[in-house]
Structure 1
Amino acid sequence: MLPWSADFAGRLEEHVVSSELLRGNPLKDPHERPLLVYVPPGYDDDPSRRYPTVYVITGFTGHVGIWRNRMPYRRPFPETADAVFASGEAPPAIVVFVDAWTAHGGSQFLDSPGTGRYHSYICDELVPWVDAHYRTLDAPERRAISGKSSGGYGAMITPMLRPDLFGALATHAGDALFEYCYLPEFPKCVRHLRGYGGDIWRWWEDFHGRASFTKPEDMELLNLLGMAVCYSAREDGTPDLPFDPVTGIIRPEVWERWLAWDPVRMVPGHAEAMRSQRAIWIDGGTRDEWFLDVGAQAFHRALLDAGVSEDVIHFELFDAAHGGIDYRYPLALSWLCRRIAP
């Protein structure tokens, strides 16, 4: 295995999609977005054959370019996905690598007045674009979505909101059970903001005036701001923090807006959508720093309580922290493709 490149049995194609829904978004982020589409071996051999599709979305701060990052002694996901299909381990599928990056780190794959219409972009623009340009099987039972961390969050909530499009999902350490994954970060952020007079925008200005992530508070404050613009932005796009930045006292009305987007709490209201899923992969590391293994357990239980059959669920906890779990992606991909294959 060469450390810098590999030959594909299939093919990875690059595109730029111009989005009308993202044009003029609140953060002035590009409305033209890169898109990577992988087609499996044999795609060109039979022009009449159509394929299931798996959409892959990134974690917080991620963009489509991260799929080409190479870690020592590990191949990036497009290559391990190619190996899954080249080996015959799973039936062939088209894999779509989506970009939903924003200036504040991510969109959580939601529509928000603070970031833009990223949920609608994926569902109402990207899916039709892919179906028009590739030989897909255009049916929810043949379309899956997969991601890790914030991408895992998007993979949980997108089929809830659009079961007419997505009939399967894989979530790796996805954001869930917000009182455990987000709430413990709030007092840390209060401490960080003391150096900025309790004003997160003063930190944001400082962050942009120097090399990023050179101060210990950077990641935690970026995450706070990034989530607030997604979960609790006002109609004018201004994000409300879920706590007083000086005293740390929780602002219940804002915190409740965050909790309304917690996948665990969303399941009962979207039980029918989740019961319609053909395949649900849930996993997480037992040493996850944000307790997303606990969130995974809670999401699993919420699904069972909502009447989702255990037969369609793969639930697994494994020995790992939050990072370095990319080796799990091809495992879930293979399992999903076997479930959504015609």
Structure 2
Amino acid sequence: MKPWGAEPAGRFDEHVLVSETLRGNPLGDPHERPLWVYVPPGYDSDPDRGYPSVYMIQGLTGQLDMWRNRSAFRRNFPELADELFATGQAPPCICVWVDCWTSLGGSQFLDSPGTGWYHTYLCDEVVPWVDERYRTLAAPEHRGIAGKSSGGYGAMVTPMLRPDLFGGLATHAGDALFESCYLSEFRETARVLRDDYEGSYERFWEDFRSRPAFAKTSDGHLLNDWCMAACYSANDDGTVRLPFDAATGELVPEVWERWLRWDPVRMVPGHADALRAMRAIYIDAGKRDEWFLDLGAEAFRRALERIGVTDVFFEIFDATHMGIEYRYPLSLKYLAERLAPPG
């Protein structure tokens, strides 16, 4: 492969969407957001054809232009997606790359008084904007969403919350089974807050923003714990409630329960009808995932099985959490095939 980008066979249109939903958000983050729309080869030469659409969302700390990052001897996902359609390996579809970054690292694609209204932004601003400007098949049975890690979380919960918009999902190592993926880091965070920051998250953020990010090994779990709390357990006035005592790591049951209500595994029974109506559900994770999200993937699959959803792609493969962009075309192909119109 060439070490530089090549001209795509399809077309990437780069837009800036001015969001009224994100204007004046609690963190003061930009309300003008980049948005990429990919149209497959042949889109411009066949003006009467409509296409399924798949929305791509990112993991924690992801910003839209990071999709173009490449690892040695590997192509990035936009290049892999273009190749998938250019070579006819999957039915053509429109792909939409969405930015829901926040200055805390992410939004979990939820509405929260701690971060802003990112679920509403995605569902009520981005989707209609794309449908108005591109020849999408604007119905849930032809619209999917996919992501990894926190993006995989968003891909699980968004169709549960909005089955009127999304009829397919693909989650790569998505946050699920919260006691498995989150709980063990609370004690680590409590120690670091005590030893380095006088028990204060304010002091952590002052330090974090005064130097290169992630220069300390503890940065990741401190950022993650606070960001998740801002998404799952912020009060109506925006006050972020941690699910543990910052001095001891002891759980605060009423706040932890607020987190658990957002666990995809626990959400399944309450959204059974929506999930039974899905045309495509793809789940995978690496069996050496550092956050044990392979266990969450299995728990999510079993929760689906308990409500009678068995037509699911599921695989635990040999990998960690990182460097699995080569899996994304597999889920995109699966979604494209399942969301394509008959014939």
TM range (shorter): over 0.9
AA at the equivalent of 1:320? A
| Equivalence for 1:249 | 250
| Equivalence for 1:37 | 37
> Displacement of 1:210 after TM fit?
1.4
Q: Please list, as runs of the form range in 1=range in 2, the aligned pairs for 1:22-101 lying within 5 A after superposition.
A: 22-101=22-101
| Equivalence for 2:193 | 193
| Equivalence for 2:138 | 138
| Equivalence for 2:289 | 288
AA at the equivalent of 1:341? A
* In structure 2, distance between residues paired with 1:255 and 1:179: 10
AA at the equivalent of 2:19? S
Q: Please list, as runs of the form range in 1=range in 2, the aligned pairs for 1:192-341 lying within 5 A after superposition.
A: 192-194=192-194, 195-308=196-309, 310-311=310-311, 313-341=312-340
| Equivalence for 2:172 | 172
* In structure 1, distance between residues paired with 2:248 and 2:301: 35
* In structure 1, distance between residues paired with 2:4 and 2:220: 29
Q: Is the 8 A contact 1:4 1:70 kept in 2?
A: no
AA at the equivalent of 1:318? F
> Displacement of 1:7 after TM fit?
2.0
Gaps of 5+ in 1: none
* In structure 2, distance between residues paired with 1:323 and 1:69: 14
SS of the residue corresponding to residue 90 of structure 2 reads: coil
Gaps of 5+ in 2: none
* In structure 2, distance between residues paired with 1:163 and 1:248: 37
SS of the residue corresponding to residue 169 of structure 1 reads: strand
* In structure 2, distance between residues paired with 1:71 and 1:40: 24
AA at the equivalent of 1:71? S
> Displacement of 1:289 after TM fit?
0.7
> Displacement of 1:200 after TM fit?
1.1
SS of the residue corresponding to residue 50 of structure 1 reads: coil
> Displacement of 1:244 after TM fit?
0.5
* In structure 1, distance between residues paired with 2:213 and 2:229: 20
CA offset digits 1:235-271 (Å, max 9, x no partner) = 1111111100002111001100000000000000000
AA at the equivalent of 2:336? C
* In structure 2, distance between residues paired with 1:5 and 1:25: 36
SS of the residue corresponding to residue 171 of structure 1 reads: strand
* In structure 2, distance between residues paired with 1:211 and 1:284: 30
TM-score, structure 1 as length reference: 0.98
* In structure 2, distance between residues paired with 1:162 and 1:46: 31
AA at the equivalent of 1:153? Y
SS of the residue corresponding to residue 104 of structure 1 reads: coil
* In structure 2, distance between residues paired with 1:238 and 1:197: 20
2:168 is the counterpart of 1:157? no
SS of the residue corresponding to residue 13 of structure 1 reads: strand
* In structure 2, distance between residues paired with 1:4 and 1:143: 32
* In structure 2, distance between residues paired with 1:108 and 1:177: 15
Consecutive aligned runs of 4 or more in structure 1 exceeding 4 Å deviation: none
* In structure 1, distance between residues paired with 2:138 and 2:5: 33
Q: Is the 8 A contact 2:187 2:248 kept in 1?
A: no
* In structure 2, distance between residues paired with 1:26 and 1:4: 39
AA at the equivalent of 2:69? N
2:13 is the counterpart of 1:13? yes
* In structure 2, distance between residues paired with 1:79 and 1:216: 32
* In structure 1, distance between residues paired with 2:174 and 2:258: 19
Q: Is the 8 A contact 1:107 1:115 kept in 2?
A: yes
SS of the residue corresponding to residue 21 of structure 1 reads: coil
CA offset digits 1:174-194 (Å, max 9, x no partner) = 000000000011111111111
* In structure 2, distance between residues paired with 1:320 and 1:231: 29
